[in-house]
A and B are shown apart, each in its own frame.
Chain A
């Protein structure tokens, strides 16, 4: 049990939906329309290749699909021993109230530079950027700092980025939420210094 603490640093997930009655100001700021021009970025090789094994680490089971307050106790990685694939499928069902057909490509993979584990999240569970960002920050135990149109995520170690349908890497928050939802293929939490490149060529 000594090592549990170590293992939980990164894998501890408190994936929650945002509470109602959030700070409205913050919401407005983050969800506002910005320019949709793409920031330039050069691809790092570690994203390439289909040989990367990706695992869903939300296997802790604390994804509260029923909008109840999050559990007080943090869940243990890999327990109970159910393949995350199976957990996702059943959760997916519970999230759909009206039994509609699966849309496919619901999940996006989320990676963080330096973390050995990849996660998968269901983007449509969130309603706006603040909710998504909070969930990511909780999931990976990092902070993103203040978002601004011009400077991206200022003053933080990490910044959230995503790859869109065209394969370009963008800073999360650059486009309106709905556009983001429909074009986001995968997420990557980059070191702040790397993400600066994204803000560079406006």
Chain B
């Protein structure tokens, strides 16, 4: 069977929407030509070979394609020819939908028929910061309904920023007898009733992870719904729950879950309760400690459990988080595990530099650290001195107001850059920063893939020179050759964006707020960043001309978000007309207005046209 190369536009990314659409069209059109033999004509982009399928070769192909796991590789393979397209579709077991509105559930489930694991992402990230009105969409319901019919063997569901209802969870629990893993990140719309359904009916459940999701308290004790017999649970994460859980049920559940490795408790679990749990489960590798606070009732002289021994018994612990109401006197309890920790999340613990130092000096193997800026520059210096293997650092502000003196600054950033040369990812909130420190990081940390700097005071210049922060961010894109994600802040002129456009060739995600001077800023980015997939901009003076300059690229992107910029509805409409496969949503958060202004523009490619579930405040431009 000879295989013809299908002519497709070169795309460094993998397939653009046009490739996927063509592949779809090719699939349906060649079905009608199945009977005619026309070997080797080769001209034009839609010619396919071998109308009589060679079953043996196809089987071989399927077996080989099973080994292809990376979705980019799979996308590429599916474009080789019709036969490969078919084989790839049959062998894809993990389905990733980066934007839930880019494709309909029907289309996805029709093409990929043997999927075991589904990941779907919904709302854009700025929705996390209340910039998107409620009820915008990203509903899981149509997906679970389609999958209930199409994927009886479904095992895993991963959702991010989707709205999931209790009914969805009930349907899920009833439709998939082999269901094993449910991970909900930044989701909402469901409560303990839905959790109870999953706990009660998914008998093969291994993973139930609720991460930063809003869960309603329906007064259902969901933990009591797990089967009475031994469970297969390996991971139970519910640290985002804002209400109490039934501890008795929890304790019994842990006792009958011998495979449990990851347990992240919410703040309602007290320290004595934590003690009881970890003595039952010393095999844990990932622990979220819950409150870690001191109860008022603990008076001097009262017998307290030997927390340190309990932690010492957890010989496999590598990841520690929680500390929701930390009582610093309890910190020594975790010393025994510090030397093996690779990940530590103190981002809810308002501890000072001294407290942190006592812990961090033992954490030689640490690769991931999340902290509150209450540890000050001094704390960061201690991190730099010990954590030579650090890959990811996140420093969150304890006080997110704009007019305060921040406890961390360029000093901390500089120290980290000097001490942690293997750094790959950083998120740093601060009140003051200098270009020098950012430049230093660009040179000392060449492996940086993610650089997100948030100077909380808007339009703040270099704290020492008074200059814009252009040079700092310029150095980052210039020197960090692996950079794929960038978030900028501080006083920035168009120059900063010219650097990003010129040097940020691998940048896929860019986040901009209160920055830039003119349309040129955005133009530089849209014309220069060939790999840009996700663009989120707020409160920046970019207008219609800039928007227009990206027409050549929007089909290659997952989404563009622009809010409080200088766009008009008319310009958005022009984009919609120029690019028929782009869904251009103009969102207004309050009332009717007659003028041409645009509060929020959110646009994304879609194979299935405008969605049918758009709420009233969304206008889809056409």
Chain A contact residues, CB within 8 Å of chain B: 1-4, 6-7, 9-11, 49-57, 59, 61-62, 71, 73, 75-87, 89-90, 93-94, 96, 98-107, 115-118
Contact = CB atoms under 8 A, between A and B. Distances in A.
Contacts of B136: 53
B403 A71 contact: yes
Given A3-B597, A85-B212, 19 more contacts: A1-B539, A3-B599, A7-B599, A50-B165, A50-B194, A50-B216, A54-B214, A61-B402, A73-B403, A80-B397, A85-B240, A87-B400, A93-B325, A99-B296, A102-B291, A102-B325, A104-B244, A107-B242, A116-B133
A102 B273 CA distance: 13
B274 to A, nearest CB: 12
B398 interface: yes
B159 to A, nearest CB: 14
A89 B348 contact: yes
Nearest to B348: A89
Contacts of B166: 50
Contact of A11 (B130, B189, B216): B130
Contact of A75 (B242, B325, B402): B402
B293 A77 contact: no
Interface of B: 126, 128-131, 133-136, 139, 163, 165-166, 186, 188-191, 194, 212, 214, 216-217, 240, 242-244, 267-268, 270, 291, 293-296, 324-325, 327, 347-348, 350, 372, 396-403, 429, 454, 456, 458, 511, 513-514, 538-539, 541, 563-564, 566, 589-590, 597, 599, 617
Contacts of B128: 81, 83
Tell me the dominant secondary structure on chain A's binding face: loop
A51 B134 CA distance: 10
B386 to A, nearest CB: 25
A77 B131 contact: yes
30 contacts: A1-B539, A2-B566, A3-B597, A3-B599, A10-B589, A50-B166, A50-B190, A51-B139, A54-B188, A61-B402, A73-B402, A79-B129, A79-B513, A79-B514, A80-B402, A81-B128, A82-B396, A83-B212, A90-B350, A93-B324, A96-B325, A100-B293, A100-B295, A100-B325, A101-B291, A102-B267, A104-B243, A116-B133, A117-B134, A118-B134
B458 A79 contact: yes
B293 A52 contact: no
A50 B135 CA distance: 11
A71 B294 contact: no
A115 B589 CA distance: 9
A107 B214 CA distance: 12
B613 to A, nearest CB: 11
A101 B267 CA distance: 8
